[in-house]
């Protein structure tokens, strides 16, 4: 197990990925984007023509596919069966369909196992997702839960899409985000919720750099206590 495990959980578009990546950079730690894993499995299942609500078929796709995740140059590069799919896993159809893999207990079990294996080989790790502090790394050194007002999260997502040349309606983005929140919070296995010992940070009024500084201050405080 890594010497330092920091988990960041939270709802869709709460800024987790960006913050986790920057925090990892500042701490010289590895970064794990577990959402990319659910997305990659979803894309592989869609391409294989699997029935998304059939857990056995999803597991079959995991068994027969080769997944590679690497965090370099500030982004998570994802390959399925040797082909890079970093952009494809961010598409709206994959985003909407990821709920099936996320709700399948044995798929979650498998992905959590892969997450722990990854962490075991790292000195320090910042990992982000929905269940990192509650399930995957319940013994993590420091747990954060990032949240923000749904309207603000929708605005951020809209700005991101705009920067990528895509114009989308704010209401529709917010509805899709709230839909994903509901489905993440209501599943039985690994539901989205703050761990009992998580530090909850509301980022509605904060910029990315402010959030990173806040988290770093918490890490410093905890680590100085650890010696």
Residues in contact with ligand C5P by CB under 6 A are 12, 34-35, 38-39, 98-99, 102, 129-132, 180, 184
Minimum CB–partner distance for residue 4 and ligand C5P (Å): 19
Choose between 39 and 153: whose C-beta lies nearer to ligand C5P: 39
Parallel/antiparallel/unpaired status of strands 199-202 and 83-84: unpaired
Pick from 129, 52, 147: which is nearest to 93 by CA? 52
146/14 Cα distance (integer angstroms): 6
Minimum CB–partner distance for residue 146 and ligand C5P (Å): 11
Choose between 21 and 180: whose C-beta lies nearer to ligand C5P: 180
185/147 Cα distance (integer angstroms): 13
Whether 133 contacts 9, CB under 8 Å: yes
**What distances in angstroms separate CA 71 from CA 12, 22, 31, 42, one per listed residue?**
20, 12, 6, 20
Minimum CB–partner distance for residue 8 and ligand C5P (Å): 10
Q: Locate tokens 């991101």: which residue?
A: 160
Choose between 85 and 102: whose C-beta lies nearer to ligand C5P: 102
Choose between 34 and 158: whose C-beta lies nearer to ligand C5P: 34
9: phi then psi, degrees, rounded to nearest 5: -115, 165
Choose between 2 and 157: whose C-beta lies nearer to ligand C5P: 157
Pick from 111, 129, 134: which is nearest to 59 by CA? 111
Sheet of 4-9: strand order equals 30-33, 124-129, 4-9, 142-147, 199-202
Minimum CB–partner distance for residue 180 and ligand C5P (Å): 5
Q: How big is the chain by its Cα radius of gyration, in Å?
A: 17
Choose between 129 and 150: whose C-beta lies nearer to ligand C5P: 129
Minimum CB–partner distance for residue 154 and ligand C5P (Å): 14
Minimum CB–partner distance for residue 17 and ligand C5P (Å): 7
Whether 21 contacts 146, CB under 8 Å: no
């Amino acid at each position: 197990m890594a010497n330092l495990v920091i988990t960041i959980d939270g709802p869709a578009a709460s800024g987790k990925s960006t913050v986790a990546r920057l925090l990892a950079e500042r701490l010289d730690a590895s970064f794990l984007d577990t959402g990319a894993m659910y997305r990659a499995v979803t894309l592989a299942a869609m391409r294989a023509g699997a029935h998304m609500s059939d857990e056995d078929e999803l597991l079959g796709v995991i068994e027969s596919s080769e997944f590679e995740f690497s965090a370099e140059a500030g982004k998570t590069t994802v390959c399925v069966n040797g082909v890079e799919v970093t952009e494809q896993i961010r598409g709206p159809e994959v985003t909407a369909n990821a709920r099936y893999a996320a709700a399948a207990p044995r798929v979650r079990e498998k992905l959590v196992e892969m997450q722990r294996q990854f962490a075991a080989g790292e000195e320090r790790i910042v990992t982000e997702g929905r269940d990192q502090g509650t399930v995957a790394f319940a013994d993590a050194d420091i747990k954060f839960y990032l949240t923000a007002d749904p309207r603000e999260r929708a605005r951020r997502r809209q700005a991101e899409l705009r920067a990528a040349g895509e114009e989308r309606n704010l209401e529709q983005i917010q509805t899709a985000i709230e839909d994903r929140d509901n489905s993440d919070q209501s599943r039985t296995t690994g539901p989205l919720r703050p761990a009992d010992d998580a530090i909850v940070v509301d980022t509605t009024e904060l910029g990315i750099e402010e959030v990173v500084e806040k988290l770093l201050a918490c890490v410093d405080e905890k680590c100085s206590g650890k010696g």
